[in-house]
Amino acid sequence: MKNKKLTGLSKVITVICGLGLIIVLFVPLWQIELAAPQYPEGLVLKMYPNKLGGNVEVINGLNHYIGMKTLHANNFIEFTVLPYIIGFFAAFCFLVVLINRRKWLNILFYSFVVFGVIAMIDFYRWNYNYGHDLDPNAPIQVPGMSYQPPIIGYKQLLNFGAYSIPDIGGWIFVGAGLLLLAAVVIQFFKSKRTNDVYIK
């Protein structure tokens, strides 16, 4: 039936999403900016799909004093699997256009949303462990203090202000989700109009 096929606009949207996800593989997904009086220029930690960037060594040096673990990409399985997952969704977008069926667009969108939710839960877990699992022999210890960075937004950590926001890749990822939602909505109304015609 025609109402099960994708509209031209839905196809264009889905291809744009696939191309956007390919770009995500090469740009930072998230960033945490740190500001303190002794670092007026600020420090930044950038998280790419497969590596860490920014002032990683400086931040690791500071973290040593408060007992936080040093950050190394090879300690996180996420940096190994994430490029494959993003690549899978990019390929899935192109496959949906080739299959040209509304059902597969819905599967793509809902699985994309589920992955986004799981990714944010994992990011929270990562931040929680990073900020709470402290070395009891650290040179600087503040009883009851933890250093969990915010998932998104601002948080004061001792004399450092931490500001966590999506980076280029993160915004593209969010944009892809919104565009896929738009394509799903377009297909829904197309199907509804077609069904109304048959009923009449």
pLDDT digits (tens, 9 = 90+) for 63-88: 877 777 888 888 888 899 999 999 99
Pick from 57, 94, 61: which is nearest to 73 by CA?
57
**DSSP run (H or E) holding 119:** helix 102-132
> Could you tell me which residues come within 8 angstroms of residue 161 by beta carbon, excluding any fewer than 6 positions away?
34, 35, 36, 154, 155
Can you tell me the distance from the alpha carbon of 57 to that of 66, in angstroms, rounded to the nearest whole number? 15
Within a 10 A sphere around the Cβ of 96, how many other Cβ atoms? Answer: 27
Which three-class secondary structure state does DSSP give residue 158?
A: coil
Write phi, then psi, for 54 (nearest 5 degrees).
90, -150
Contacts of 198 (CB under 8 A, 6+ apart): none
Two tokens at 69?
Answer: 């673990």
Percent of the chain's residues with pLDDT above 70: 94
Mean pLDDT for 106-132 is 91
* pLDDT 10s digits, 140-162: 777 777 788 888 999 888 788 88
Per DSSP, 50 falls in state S
Amino acid at 94: F
The arithmetic mean of pLDDT across residues 54-68, rounded, is: 84
What is the structure's pLDDT at 194? 62
pTM recorded for the entire structure: 0.86
User: Which of 42-51, 54-63, 144-153, 180-189 has the lowest average pLDDT?
Assistant: 144-153
Q: Which of 39, 24, 54 is nearest to 164 (CA)?
A: 54
Residue 200, CB-side half-sphere exposure with 13 Å CA sphere = 6
Integer angstrom CA distances of residue 56 from 43, 45, 72, 96, 99: 9, 6, 9, 39, 44
Q: Where are the domains of the chain?
A: 2-193
Exposed/middle/buried for 49, CB within 10 Å: 0-12, 13-18, 19+? Answer: buried
- Assess contact for 28 and 96: CB atoms under 8 A: no
Look up residue 99 and give its two tokens: 């299959």
Task: Determine which of 6-15, 39-48, 62-71, 165-174 has the lowest per-residue pLDDT on average.
Answer: 62-71
Mean pLDDT of 83-104: 96
- For 92-119, what is the mean pLDDT? 96
pLDDT bin (cut points 50, 70, 90) of residue 198 is very low
